[in-house]
A and B are shown apart, each in its own frame.
Chain A
Amino acid sequence: MSDEQHPIPEPSPDKGPAHAEAGRPYLTTEKPGKHRGDPTLWDNFKKEFYADNTFTVTLFAIVLALIFGGILMIIGDADTRAQWGYFFYQPLKTLEASWDLVSKAYTDMFKGAVVNPDTVNRWYWDMTTWQQVFRPISETLTNAAPLILTGLAVAIPFRAGLFNIGGQGQAIMGAIGGGTVGILLKLPAPIVILLAILAGALLGGLWGLLVGVLKAKTGAHEVIVTIMLNYIALYFLFWYIRQAAIDDPNRSELISKPVPDSSIFPKLIDPALRVNLGILLALLVAAGVAWLLKRGTFGFELRAVGYNPNAAGTAGIKVGWTLALTMGLAGALAGLGGTTMVLGTAGNLTGEVVGQIGFNGILVALLGRVKPWGVVGAGLLFGALQAGGAAMQTFSGISNELVTAIQAMIVIFVAAPLLVKAVFRLRKSPSAAASAALAKG
């Protein structure tokens, strides 16, 4: 989970460590040969698992959100709700109906997001293609790619002490940049795609850099500025699609010409599966960000400024410049997310081309604890929920909007760790307790 250099803080030796008294082995009650004092790996795992570390809290937050999601399903389903009216006559039947509803819905969700055993079976008997077996995973990865990118676009500034609400606007600008190059440039496929990616990152990056420069030069608060820039980007997109070079003359609604097939992101596995270059791009970027934060010189500056801008400035780090560049980098990543939407899945620019990836990126970043690989994990989870949600809607008839509610609840429970700790009675991590108490001698 932790990819950073934060070892468990231990008290400094001058704070008076206990000098263990020379033991009196003849007084021990333990049987010789059996070291009861040495915990096994399994003991340690159990102890850590039930302690309030971030991994356990996140896991239980997801469990809790799924339980609440189940309750929402029961309330939302007319038949089951009616059955609850007879709870005191037929309690078992009521519970059974509820259980059937919820378990089928979540099973469908799993089938749509990870793997469907029926399809595997059918493929074994040659009744369907192998592509069908991988379709759920493909959908999950396709959905996850832009979310990972916009999640990183929130996580990086967070580490520098900035809250980037502008992922949505930056993604829109990226979609405009990538989409324009993809639609207009008539060049061989790899070159166009490379240029489109660069254009998306550049436009999104400039949109982010603007925020950073305003923050560094004038002290304008990045939250206000990014919210406003989100609106400007959205309405700019509406205007932009209507321009002659971009607008599709054959259609009346707000939609651009389609991106030619040569400029569409290549499919990774098979043309029948939607998973494309986007997820590869997202994982590469995540690896790059992880490296940057851990080993990169700029990452060092960014973290130093995030933790203590005064000390960073006093040691000669240019704080304003670091903040501006951080926002520029974040914008570029969100821009890549937007480009992935246009060239990976949508195929043309519309008013809703980037969906809600900018805002969902905030949730992904928070769920991923603003750490690069955490963001990847959270992005995959959200991608899976969305892919599964679509399947659930088709097969169980439960609205896809429930997925949005579950996503929101996961983040609420993650943001309220005390609640999760209380519900699941997690112990306080012993090392954390000691270091908190020792903050002052």
Chain B
Amino acid sequence: MLFQHEVHIALEATLRLELRGITKRFGDLVANDDISLTVEPGEIHALLGENGAGKSTLMNVLYGLLQPDSGEILVDGKAIKIKGPGDAIAAGIGMVHQHFMLVPVFTVAENVMLGAEPAKAGFLNHAAASDLVRTVSLKYGLPLDPDAIIEDLPIGIQQRVEIVKALTRNVDLLILDEPTAVLTPQETDELLGVMRGLRDAGKSIVFITHKLREVKAVADRITVIRRGKVVGSAEPTAPESELAELMVGRSVVLEVPKQTSEPGAAVLKVSGLVVADDRRHRAVDGVDLEVRAGEVLGIAGVQGNGQTELVEAIMGLRPSLTGSVTLSGQDITGWATRRVLRAGVGYVPEDRSVDGLVKEFSLAENLVLDLYDTEPFGNRFALNPRAINEAAQGRVEEFDIRSQSEQQPVGSLSGGNQQKVIVAREMSRPLKLFIASQPTRGVDVGSIEFIHRRIVAERDVGSAVLVVSSELDEVVALADRIAVMYRGRILAVVPPNTPRETLGLLMAGITPEADS
């Protein structure tokens, strides 16, 4: 089997894909409404749209995971039926899912061969699998160690394994579903490079995303989808504001409007903090920082440089080894999370589906996840559903949470609205300090704008705000001061008008002084 694959790879086949009038309904909801689109051989075709616009539904139809109600799929001019991923792969279409489909305890080679195992007399041929991984990864410039265990690899490399896995199935068109949502900026840049390389090698790519900058950087053509319909196509040279407008149907302010800050007394003081990560490495290695009332301190840095552990230690979710944390002069080191929260700290965790929300709970229940046992929502024994629901109605309105009812399970909301639920909850207590980790990750443009305004509003009423983000744009837009974190230390604290190149160098661990 696999040796045949190698022969095919050498052939450089190309594929032209055409979708005609694809319509997919779920009950009354039309997820895809008469969508037509053509992907030429060897082009990167970006499918741009907000969360819930119907991009993923369309790609699931194309990959055979869903059956369209009407419309047809043509490959090289011939109409084909795709009843499952097997048909899709046979037709030359591969997909890299947003959530990887890898076995964490298997090696790279084992994962790649999964589903098409090369066997000799009933025994798996590991050597052939390793060779295949090496061949494919070298051919397309995606270096991989076939013997590495998946769970030891960073996310970016795991994604590379997924891509290589698809390529070994001899596909000519790759669907990448929100591939950069989980990546650090560096990994994103690398991925964009890989995509260009694949295009130059004759592969077509459908790039699903809602990030304008990446689209502009890599796409050859852009199709914008809104509410299940194609609302237009654009050239990558089109200005970002125009694309954003197409996407959300109105003009979007990418800049965050705000006055200069008038910082007061220090609210949060962290000194000499050392925190270990899950692998017992020193993730935070002696951090000192100070956030004052009425200012936003942004922590910039490539993800994985200790930001997560720093915030978790402040919140009492992770023990600190040495050092202290004080809130308005009170030592809160080692306090339980509940005590920290109720001392006046709001916290938006970086991964909303893991740490932020109980997806099976209703919107109303999630909005009181922190205060359910305090008046008026309840006491030590009983809840007060009426008060909980009334408060929820108010929050839904105030924070523009798009939902059908406050009894709806929060998991059925879109990502942006889920995030607004968390922000609404954390801003509903009297706050001294507001901490937001990756506040707009995986959130649509409209919600980003809203969340940013709320964060600035929180600053303006005199709270201290700490924003941690791996999106440099976000940190620059929000922060009054920027602390750059690198390998568990604060490398420098700089004003937000610092040139991006300097910030980029700092994020890479290069201080201007050391450089000169």
For B426, give the chain A residue with the smallest CB separation.
Answer: A315
Whether the pair B372, A297 counts as a contact (CB closer than 8 A) is yes
Whole-angstrom distance between the alpha carbons of A440 and B177 in the complex? 11
Whether the pair B359, A307 counts as a contact (CB closer than 8 A) is yes
Whether the pair A313, B362 counts as a contact (CB closer than 8 A) is no
Interface string of B337-373 (1 = CB under 8 A from A): 1101110000101000011111111100100011011
**Interface residues in B402-435 (C-beta closer than 8 Å to A):** 402-405, 407-409, 411-414, 416-417, 425
Whether the pair A15, B407 counts as a contact (CB closer than 8 A) is no
**Residues of A with C-beta under 8 A to B98:** 440
For A316, give the chain B residue with the smallest CB separation.
Answer: B338
Q: What's the least CB distance linking A172 to chain B, in Å?
A: 31
Whether the pair B361, A296 counts as a contact (CB closer than 8 A) is no
Whether the pair A296, B383 counts as a contact (CB closer than 8 A) is yes
For B405, give the chain A residue with the smallest CB separation.
Answer: A7
User: Is B223 engaged at the interface, CB distance under 8 Å to the other chain?
Assistant: no
Complex interface: stretch among B38-46, B51-59, B149-157, B268-276: B51-59
Whether the pair B370, A315 counts as a contact (CB closer than 8 A) is yes
User: Is A421 engaged at the interface, CB distance under 8 Å to the other chain?
Assistant: no
Whether the pair B382, A307 counts as a contact (CB closer than 8 A) is no
Complex interface: stretch among B26-34, B108-116, B189-197, B503-511: B26-34
Whether the pair B355, A16 counts as a contact (CB closer than 8 A) is no
A10-B408, A295-B382 given; A441·B51 CB < 8 A: yes
For B27, give the chain A residue with the smallest CB separation.
Answer: A434
Whole-angstrom distance between the alpha carbons of A18 and B54 in the complex? 12
User: Is B228 engaged at the interface, CB distance under 8 Å to the other chain?
Assistant: yes
**Residues of A with C-beta under 8 A to B358:** 303-304, 307-308, 311-312
User: Is A404 engaged at the interface, CB distance under 8 Å to the other chain?
Assistant: no
For B65, give the chain A residue with the smallest CB separation.
Answer: A437
Whether the pair B404, A13 counts as a contact (CB closer than 8 A) is yes
User: Is A251 engaged at the interface, CB distance under 8 Å to the other chain?
Assistant: no
Question: Looking at A12, A295, A315, which has the most chain B CB atoms within 10 Å of its CB?
Answer: A315
Question: Looking at B342, B369, B408, which has the most chain A CB atoms within 10 Å of its CB?
Answer: B369
Q: What's the least CB distance linking A35 to chain B, in Å?
A: 18
Whether the pair A12, B409 counts as a contact (CB closer than 8 A) is no
Whole-angstrom distance between the alpha carbons of A307 and B358 in the complex? 6
For A297, give the chain B residue with the smallest CB separation.
Answer: B373
Question: Looking at A12, A303, A316, A431, which has the most chain B CB atoms within 10 Å of its CB?
Answer: A316
Whole-angstrom distance between the alpha carbons of A297 and B365 in the complex? 12
Q: What's the least CB distance linking A66 to chain B, in Å?
A: 34
Whole-angstrom distance between the alpha carbons of A77 and B89 in the complex? 56
User: Is B86 engaged at the interface, CB distance under 8 Å to the other chain?
Assistant: no
**Residues of A with C-beta under 8 A to B57:** 437, 441
For B385, give the chain A residue with the smallest CB separation.
Answer: A295
User: Is B380 engaged at the interface, CB distance under 8 Å to the other chain?
Assistant: yes
Partner of A311, one of B56, B226, B227, B356: B356
Whole-angstrom distance between the alpha carbons of A16 and B378 in the complex? 36
Whether the pair B29, A15 counts as a contact (CB closer than 8 A) is yes
Whole-angstrom distance between the alpha carbons of A312 and B359 in the complex? 11
Whole-angstrom distance between the alpha carbons of A168 and B247 in the complex? 60
**Interface residues in A1-29 (C-beta closer than 8 Å to B):** 5-7, 9-18, 20
Whole-angstrom distance between the alpha carbons of A298 and B338 in the complex? 15
A7-B408, A16-B53, A295-B383 given; A438·B372 CB < 8 A: no
A17-B29, A297-B383, A300-B383 given; A314·B337 CB < 8 A: yes
User: Is A318 engaged at the interface, CB distance under 8 Å to the other chain?
Assistant: yes
Partner of A9, one of B372, B373, B409: B409
Q: What's the least CB distance linking B409 to chain A, in Å?
A: 5
Interface size counted on chain A using CB atoms at 8 A: 43
User: Is A310 engaged at the interface, CB distance under 8 Å to the other chain?
Assistant: yes
Q: What's the least CB distance linking B425 to chain A, in Å?
A: 8
Whole-angstrom distance between the alpha carbons of A146 and B31 in the complex? 51
User: Is B123 engaged at the interface, CB distance under 8 Å to the other chain?
Assistant: no
User: Is A435 engaged at the interface, CB distance under 8 Å to the other chain?
Assistant: yes
For A436, give the chain B residue with the smallest CB separation.
Answer: B26
User: Is B336 engaged at the interface, CB distance under 8 Å to the other chain?
Assistant: yes
Whole-angstrom distance between the alpha carbons of A304 and B347 in the complex? 18
**Interface residues in A269-324 (C-beta closer than 8 Å to B):** 295-298, 300-301, 303-304, 307-308, 310-318
Whether the pair B361, A310 counts as a contact (CB closer than 8 A) is no
Whether the pair B27, A316 counts as a contact (CB closer than 8 A) is no
Whether the pair A297, B53 counts as a contact (CB closer than 8 A) is no
User: Is B35 engaged at the interface, CB distance under 8 Å to the other chain?
Assistant: no
Interface string of A179-201 (1 = CB under 8 A from B): 00000000000000000000000
Q: What's the least CB distance linking A287 to chain B, in Å?
A: 14
Partner of A297, one of B51, B378, B407: B378
Question: Looking at A6, A308, A440, which has the most chain B CB atoms within 10 Å of its CB?
Answer: A440
User: Is A430 engaged at the interface, CB distance under 8 Å to the other chain?
Assistant: yes
**Residues of A with C-beta under 8 A to B56:** 440-441
**Residues of B with C-beta under 8 A to A296:** 381-383
A7-B405, A312-B358, A312-B369 given; A18·B349 CB < 8 A: no
Q: What's the least CB distance linking B355 to chain A, in Å?
A: 4
Q: What's the least CB distance linking A20 to chain B, in Å?
A: 8
**Interface residues in A388-412 (C-beta closer than 8 Å to B):** none
For A17, give the chain B residue with the smallest CB separation.
Answer: B29
Whole-angstrom distance between the alpha carbons of A316 and B374 in the complex? 13
Whole-angstrom distance between the alpha carbons of A309 and B362 in the complex? 16
A312-B369, A315-B369 given; A11·B29 CB < 8 A: yes
Whole-angstrom distance between the alpha carbons of A303 and B411 in the complex? 15
Q: What's the least CB distance linking A289 to chain B, in Å?
A: 14
Whole-angstrom distance between the alpha carbons of A295 and B377 in the complex? 11
**Interface residues in B318-344 (C-beta closer than 8 Å to A):** 336-338, 340-342
Whether the pair A314, B349 counts as a contact (CB closer than 8 A) is yes
Q: What's the least CB distance linking A343 to chain B, in Å?
A: 29
Partner of B30, one of A16, A300, A441: A16
Whether the pair B54, A13 counts as a contact (CB closer than 8 A) is no
Q: What's the least CB distance linking B427 to chain A, in Å?
A: 14
Whether the pair A9, B228 counts as a contact (CB closer than 8 A) is no
Partner of A18, one of B28, B50, B55, B425: B28
Whether the pair B29, A304 counts as a contact (CB closer than 8 A) is no
**Residues of B with C-beta under 8 A to A6:** 360, 409
Whether the pair A12, B413 counts as a contact (CB closer than 8 A) is yes
Whether the pair B360, A307 counts as a contact (CB closer than 8 A) is yes
Whether the pair A12, B417 counts as a contact (CB closer than 8 A) is yes
Q: What's the least CB distance linking B422 to chain A, in Å?
A: 9
Whether the pair B29, A16 counts as a contact (CB closer than 8 A) is yes
Interface string of B48-72 (1 = CB under 8 A from A): 0011111111000000001000000
Whether the pair A17, B411 counts as a contact (CB closer than 8 A) is no
**Interface residues in B158-209 (C-beta closer than 8 Å to A):** none
**Residues of B with C-beta under 8 A to A17:** 28-29
- A-B contacts besides A12-B403, A310-B354, 10 pairs, CB < 8 Å: A6-B409, A9-B411, A14-B417, A15-B29, A16-B52, A297-B383, A316-B336, A434-B29, A440-B56, A441-B53
Interface residues, chain A, CB within 8 Å of chain B? 5-7, 9-18, 20, 295-298, 300-301, 303-304, 307-308, 310-318, 430-431, 433-435, 437-441
* 10 nearest A-B residue pairs (beta carbon): A316-B338, A16-B227, A441-B52, A15-B52, A315-B369, A434-B26, A9-B412, A14-B402, A434-B27, A314-B355
Name 7 A/B residue pairs within 8 A (Cβ), A-sorted: A7-B405, A9-B411, A18-B25, A296-B381, A304-B358, A311-B358, A437-B31
